[in-house]
Amino acid sequence: MRITIIGAGNMGRGIGTRAVAGGNEVEFVDRNPEDAQDLADELGAGVTASHAVNGEIVVLALPYEQIAAAIEEHKDGLRGKVVIDITNPLDWSSLDRVVTPEGSSSGEETARLVPGGTAVVKAFNTTFARTLVSGEVAGETLEVLMAGDSAEAKSKVASLVESGGMRPIDVGPLERARMLEQVGLFHIAIQEQIGSGFGSALKLHW
């Protein structure tokens, strides 16, 4: 698959690393084109930097406050694609709450902003960049929790996840992004206590 990652930061690097490992075509788009090119060069042959959105899956590897502007800028390129919202919309000064409107989530806010016919899947917000680069934690496969309203879109995201050596877990409709973002908040907030340096992973067994 062709994957566009908007955002050349740490999570862009992590998800890009897994996507490349899975044999996908990857392009980076960033408001600083030099950052996109540097990351493309770092990840190796076949990875490109672009100004336009060409992938069939588009990853918004951006802070919550930058999502609306990015969607507006790339609206035509997003139309009809599968968009992955990875954001944890937190109050970073206190790490005790999310900052989305009550009864909503970043995933649902993203779905309201994208063009009609564009599916949004919440995923990767419970995995850390460092673990995505390595592809595992303590020898354990990473698990990627996904929420979305389109079974077809979630199937495409699951294929991306599996190709990168990870395990996708469908947790239900997009409104469960609210729960996933609370899980993301919890996982981030406990890092100082457990001392993992953002190198931990959440695991489900059943």
User: How many residues belong to the chain?
Assistant: 206
What is the C-alpha radius of gyration for the chain, rounded to an integer number of angstroms?
16
C-alpha–C-alpha distance, residues 37 and 27, integer Å = 9
Name the domain count of the chain.
Answer: 1
C-alpha–C-alpha distance, residues 139 and 117, integer Å = 39
**Within a domain: residue 203?**
no
Q: Which domain holds residue 185?
A: 2-194
**Which residues make Cβ contacts (< 8 Å) with residue 76, sequence separation at least 6?**
115
Buried b (16+ CB within 10 A) or exposed e, 141-170: ebbbbbbbbbeebbebbbebbebbebebbb
The residues facing 26 across adjacent strands are 3, 47
Q: In order along the chain (206 residues), what is the average pLDDT of each group of 10 residues?
A: 98 98 97 98 94 97 97 97 98 93 97 97 98 97 98 98 98 98 97 96 94
C-alpha–C-alpha distance, residues 133 and 149, integer Å = 28
C-alpha–C-alpha distance, residues 58 and 2, integer Å = 9
Burial, 188: exposed, middle or buried (Cβ in 10 Å; 0-12, 13-18, 19+)? middle
**CB-based contact 180:147 (threshold 8 Å):** yes
**pTM, rounded to two decimals:** 0.97
CATH number at residue 146: 3.40.50.720
Edge-to-edge order in the sheet of strand 2-6? 47-49, 25-29, 2-6, 57-60, 82-85, 119-122, 143-148, 167-170
**Within a domain: residue 128?**
yes
Q: Tell me, what's the pLDDT at 163?
A: 98
**Within a domain: residue 49?**
yes
**Within a domain: residue 199?**
no
C-alpha–C-alpha distance, residues 4 and 201, integer Å = 25
Q: Tell me, what's the pLDDT at 202?
A: 97
**Within a domain: residue 202?**
no
**Within a domain: residue 67?**
yes
C-alpha–C-alpha distance, residues 105 and 21, integer Å = 30
**Within a domain: residue 25?**
yes
Q: Tell me, what's the pLDDT at 105?
A: 98
**Within a domain: residue 205?**
no
